[in-house]
Amino acid sequence: MFNISQFLNRIRGTQGKQILQRNIVRNVVLKNIGIDIPAENITIKSAVIFLNNISQSAKSAVYVKKQIILNEINKGQDTIIVRDIK
């Protein structure tokens, strides 16, 4: 039978990785553009970063330096290779 503690440890490990990836994205955007995006507004699905609930001017600034941001994110970690920002 499957132990509940093993199940909870797997969930905790997955959530920890997601939080780490969001913080990497947040720090790279802050470094390159100077805009602090809360980690709650960043989601990563299928190797695509989604920026939710941020201003249009902030999104435009991110898209201008999109390739630089993607390169730094992918260089800084090896768990998931990010292909796009939306």
Judged against a pLDDT cut of 80, whether residue 28 lies above it is answered with: yes
CB 53 within 8 A of CB 41: yes
Judged against a pLDDT cut of 80, whether residue 77 lies above it is answered with: no
DSSP conformational letter for 40? G
How much is the average pLDDT of 53-57?
A: 92
How much is the average pLDDT of 46-75?
A: 91
Q: What is the pLDDT of residue 73?
A: 87
Q: What percent of the chain has pLDDT over 70?
A: 80
How much is the average pLDDT of 23-36?
A: 91
Q: What is the pLDDT of residue 5?
A: 66
Judged against a pLDDT cut of 70, whether residue 16 lies above it is answered with: no
CB atoms closer than 10 angstroms to residue 54: 16
> Residue 44: which of 69, 62, 18 has the closest Cα?
18
> Residue 44: which of 16, 7, 8, 19 has the closest Cα?
19
